[in-house]
Structure 1
């Protein structure tokens, strides 16, 4: 199906060139039209000719702060704003939200979570977000009313909205979907998830399972898909059935 909705234009305001480029690449790859700026002057100069649909602003900009920029934007137009910062200061977070930001994400952030939050904020503003046509074929694994796109590495619900997953959650879900109906013990899951999780103990898998259930199960406490087999491991049931 051909898409007619234009891509949402996201203004990236960050004085770190490496961060700007990585954010620009991430948003472009996920169907947005990113425009990067190194500060507020560049942002307002571009806004005159090419207004953005959302501003993604670093809180600790050199010169004019991200908070001041957010307040200036709010004085001029009703544009959604997402703030980014590497400072773990709860006061900054509160001030950022009170000055008009719609959401707030700490650096380093999970790329999928940032994309999902941007889409959620745009939806709240009524923006028509360009989505790819529903994918089918061997690179899309279906279960219930959800689908996992292996090419885009995205989990989507029945409406086509992305459900943000961490890297570990994505890899765990993909592995289960490739082995439906098999009882898989915890050590096997740890081995399949790779060396970056090799330091984890069995209980870490249990934590990942709980987090994943909150995102894919209608009733996480009574899982229809990701079920437990006591003393053996876990099993993934593609068609909803009795809880485990």
Structure 2
């Protein structure tokens, strides 16, 4: 299969287009065939350069990115997608290394799938990520009682749900990864109540069940660095030892 990404699977024109970035041609072919069988269109690439040129001209719905590409890092591609494009990412990894997974989540990957992957599981993950990404107001049960306003203010900041952004009151936008925004969005929709770590992991849609504490802690720390005057002494995103976290909107 061509590395240029111009050989797209022949499916219905309305099918969701999914990019595949993997330097193994056998993996690219297998993934493209799997996607076609389930009604998706696929654009395969061996590396980031061809993908980036293509992605800026096409309506890509999701990218599947191999973590360890030959001569480049899949993490850098994810970072570029998060910074310049607007679609979710599933990262493929052939290792079970905890550090790689957490770094990828920090960078902005929406989910992980381990190689060798189960085809049925991968399709289920793709559908789940696309559903979460397109239905931004669909949250776990707690959010049914949450603040329904499009803009929620706390301290020196406000969250615009419609625009999916965090800004200072004077208008400066604070860059967030997709995972960071989903976490913050859930907190501001469910303020002043303790949220357990397992529920937060479910909100993120991650498969890192073996590393719940570490994964959530990493994202909480990154979020605190962006919204707290003193991250080590948070006034909004507070810890309740042994219980979880609580988001205080009206902290003094």
TM-score, normalisation: structure 1: 0.49
Q: What's the TM-score once normalised by structure 2's chain length?
A: 0.47
Computing the radius of gyration from Cα coordinates, the structure with the larger value is 1
